[in-house]
Copies of this chain bind each other. A is one copy, B any other.
Amino acid sequence: MTEIRHRKGQQIAERLSPGLRDALSDKYDRILPGMADSLIEWAYGHAYAREGLDLKTRQLCTVAALTALGGQTGPQLKVNIAHTLAAGATPREITEAIWQMAVYGGMPAAINGLNAAADVFAERGIGPGQG
């Protein structure tokens, strides 16, 4: 079963972020052998590649959670906002999921999340109203 998980995980990761596995390997495997394969297998094979919930909703859930968790997940929030666009969500769906977190994680977390979204949208030339 685990080999299937690994292959499925790599397929999803490649769809959301082409070249992710090799980028991770280049950056981390020297100081922690096997890190890239572990991450792909766990995060994508054991989570995103599962059945029972569509990929776009999975990604919106991740954006919401990373927003609520706050500062420690800033870089990963940006990465996942990009993945969520790649999974078919509109910019507006993303900012709505982020803003709703003001209720659960507090206003600072939501504002920082909106700042992250604004940065990702600007990098990709996505203007307001295009959502």
Interface residues of A (CB under 8 A from B): 1-3, 5-6, 27-28, 30-32, 34-35, 37-39, 41-43, 46-48, 50, 52-53, 57-58, 60-76, 91-93, 95-109, 111-112, 114, 117-118, 121, 128-129, 131
Chain B CB within 10 Å — which of A31, A67, A72, A93 has the most? A31
Beyond known contacts A28-B111, A38-B46, A76-B108: 10 more, CB 8 A cutoff:
A1-B34, A30-B129, A32-B98, A35-B114, A50-B99, A60-B61, A68-B69, A69-B105, A73-B109, A104-B106
Whether A31 contacts B111 in the complex (CB less than 8 A), given A65-B101, A67-B65, comes out as no
Contact (Cβ within 8 A) A106 B105: yes
Whether A75 contacts B3 in the complex (CB less than 8 A), given A61-B60, A68-B65, comes out as no
**Copies of this chain, tallied across the complex:** 6
Chain A, interface SS category? helix
Contact (Cβ within 8 A) A108 B31: no
17 CB < 8 A contacts A-B: A30-B128, A30-B129, A31-B95, A31-B117, A32-B95, A35-B99, A50-B99, A52-B93, A57-B57, A61-B101, A65-B67, A69-B104, A69-B105, A69-B106, A73-B109, A102-B106, A104-B106
